Amino acid sequence: MIKQNTIEQIMATVKVEEVIEDFVSLKRRGVNMIGNCPFHDEKTPSFTVSPAKNIYKCFGCGKAGDSVRFMMDHDAMSYPESLRYLANKYNIEIEETVNTAEELAVKEVTTSYYIINEFAQSYFNNSLFNTNEGKSVGLSYFKDRGYNESIIKKFGLGFTTSDKNDFTKTAISKQYNIEFLKKLGLTSQYDNDFFRSRVMFTIHNLSGKVIAFAGRTLSQDKKTPKYINSPETDIYNKRKVLYGLYFAKQSIRKEDECIMVEGYTDVITLHQYGVDNAVASSGTSLTVEQINLVKRYTPNIKIIYDGDAAGVKAALRGLDLVLEQDMNVRLVMLPDGEDPDSYLKKVGIEEFRKYLKEKEQDFLFFKTNLLLAEAGDDPIRKSKVLKDIVQSIAKIPDNIKKQLYIQKCSTMMGISEEILIGETNKVIKANQKQQHFRNKRDQPNHVDDSTFLNQKTQPYGTQIGPAKQVVTGDDYQEKDVLRILISHGNLPLKDDSEMLVCAFIIDSVKDEIQHFDNELVKTMFTMAIEQFNANGKIDINAFTSSNDEQVRLLAIDFLADPYIYASWEEKGLQFQTQKDPENNQEKDAIQSIKRFLFRKQGKRIDQLEIKIKELSVTPGSELDLIRYIKAYRIVQTQRTKMAEELGSVFLK
């Protein structure tokens, strides 16, 4: 564990703007700095960094925090990883609390594993570039594939000669522990080299450490396995690794999409052509752990399949679990006999990207089409298809998505929506029963350690459970509107207009007042409306000299420094906006109200979602369900429009 005084030293040293500027270009704006938010897609910067307070906040998506939080969110780091990163950036020596002997032993072993793998990688790399066999066999293979030297170095490619034990002998001469070499699968039980006459692919973990290798034979001998891999160790669990993710993660976040291919070589070729968001599940069929890794960066996966239909059908079965994780999955089938590597080289990058765009299909529709085509007119086989599809739909956690799939699949299959809804509900109920049974039987609170790090997307949970809680607490927005009302209310909205800020604010939010969360704000707004109705303006003194202490204090707060936001959502942090000359009361008021209404609509959407979830599992309520879905879509559309005006992404 990192010692508390080290943590304090890190916190005292780091400058939030310096940490963030490694990833986001920031411009000074008054006392703050702003830039395009790295957490959501935006054209108008709303990501604000306050060097004075050492914090950041995005007014588009609401992400906020300090330097440690930034690295956790941005690079999917754990808390200690983030601290270590920052300590390293600022050359702060980390002091750790004394571990138990057992902890120390484990740590020593894993540290040794990393060191040995690092050595092996440089050995393999050296064999590739500096031995005759490496140059004539390995390097020419990679060159034939079209790899340039920089991509070979980046991905840590290498070669092992036909020599029986040169690697092991070299390693031992350098005092590396033979038992560790065996554990890592680099040395065989007879003390010979495990990888021989192979081109070598290095497998990295998320922070770029070498955790395993894959060796590909270039021999045509059918008895030689094409690929052999390192065994699983304390540092390598193949279910939890995606090949290339270390190099792809930034790009996946930026593109908001992860491209998944089948092989190591596909990943490398794609990266060389600038498709930096490609990874491979390499050797295993896709696992939940791998999907959760991707989910840290994006909810969107595009899977590229080589053009042979036989393999695809088998692969489809595994994909239901991606639906369970509430990911959006699209598939692209390459033309017959092509893999990404071959096809990309054939048509070039422009055509390749175009092909992906044109041919991508939603996973479930793809599956429906494929199964339907196979079933033909056979009614029995068709009803099997129905069951199969309904199983998939039932796994989608989000009810709105579920409803949309039902609509589309109903058209595709020529079956009424009602039947599909009924069948889906049957499956959901059966699953719930099963889950209930399982929960009773198993330890209920098993948490996959990978979910701890999941900052970007919070899963709803994998089965239909209790409806998501309505998020309450619009304190911040409500207070912000009230702040403007009290601090600027009697000023004209624009220099040349007759309208006062208070008239504009009251007119915009009067219908919302009954929905206010904060009772104090509600009271003060009601006071303001009464004053406005009586005198056409608001009476500031009535607030500042009110007998109600809470009213008085809050009003004074607003007036004392109108540019300090009353509170930061949940955090209780203070945030100073800039006193820009053009950031006048008009802009301030309009923006603030828009944000406020935007948030209120978000809550309405949450409420509708809950209602729809309830209805979708209530038999006989299909008509109501459709009504609510329509209402939901209307509010969604309004909110999207508002989001565009606010220059923020449409989140919910």
Which parts of this chain interact with Zn ion (CB under 5 A)? 37, 39-40, 58, 60-61
Name 422's Cβ contacts closer than 8 Å, sequence gap at least 6. Answer: 619
Identify which of residues 52 and 651 has a Cβ nearer to Zn ion in the complex: 651
- Tokens coding 237: 């669990």
CB atoms within 10 A of CB 523: 15
Residue 251 Cβ vs Zn ion, minimum distance, rounded to whole Å? 18
Structural element, H or E, at residue 305: strand 300-307
- Tokens coding 401: 């998505």
Residue 61 Cβ vs Zn ion, minimum distance, rounded to whole Å? 3
Alpha-carbon distances of 239 from 242, 252, 317, 535, rounded to whole Å: 8, 20, 17, 70
Residue 70 Cβ vs Zn ion, minimum distance, rounded to whole Å? 12
Token pair 């973990």 in the structure block, residue: 205
Identify which of residues 73 and 289 has a Cβ nearer to Zn ion in the complex: 73
Residue 51 Cβ vs Zn ion, minimum distance, rounded to whole Å? 19
Q: What is the DSSP letter of 139?
A: I
Decide the pairing of beta strands 300-307 and 258-261.
parallel
Identify which of residues 76 and 92 has a Cβ nearer to Zn ion in the complex: 76
Identify which of residues 21 and 338 has a Cβ nearer to Zn ion in the complex: 21
Identify which of residues 34 and 482 has a Cβ nearer to Zn ion in the complex: 34
Contact indicator for 241, 203 with CB cutoff of 8 Å: yes
Residue 398 Cβ vs Zn ion, minimum distance, rounded to whole Å? 22
Identify which of residues 177 and 250 has a Cβ nearer to Zn ion in the complex: 250
Contact indicator for 241, 279 with CB cutoff of 8 Å: no
Identify which of residues 555 and 646 has a Cβ nearer to Zn ion in the complex: 646
Token pair 């009772």 in the structure block, residue: 519
Residue 643 Cβ vs Zn ion, minimum distance, rounded to whole Å? 11
Alpha-carbon distances of 421 from 315, 322, 410, 452, 631, rounded to whole Å: 26, 21, 10, 34, 19
Residue 472 Cβ vs Zn ion, minimum distance, rounded to whole Å? 22
Identify which of residues 62 and 422 has a Cβ nearer to Zn ion in the complex: 62
Taking Cα atoms as reference points, which of 397, 322, 390 lies closest to residue 362?
322
- Separation between Cα atoms, residue 279 and residue 241, nearest integer Å: 10
Identify which of residues 40 and 238 has a Cβ nearer to Zn ion in the complex: 40
Identify which of residues 39 and 558 has a Cβ nearer to Zn ion in the complex: 39
- Separation between Cα atoms, residue 253 and residue 246, nearest integer Å: 12
Residue 454 Cβ vs Zn ion, minimum distance, rounded to whole Å? 18
For 153, phi then psi, to 5°, come to -70, -40
Residue 593 Cβ vs Zn ion, minimum distance, rounded to whole Å? 20
Structural element, H or E, at residue 525: helix 519-535
Identify which of residues 62 and 283 has a Cβ nearer to Zn ion in the complex: 62
Name 376's Cβ contacts closer than 8 Å, sequence gap at least 6. Answer: none
Contact indicator for 468, 459 with CB cutoff of 8 Å: no
Residue 59 Cβ vs Zn ion, minimum distance, rounded to whole Å? 8
Interior angle at CA 355, CA 406 and CA 306, nearest 5: 80
Residue 473 Cβ vs Zn ion, minimum distance, rounded to whole Å? 19
Name 159's Cβ contacts closer than 8 Å, sequence gap at least 6. Answer: 124, 127, 128, 131, 133, 134, 137, 138, 139, 198, 199, 200
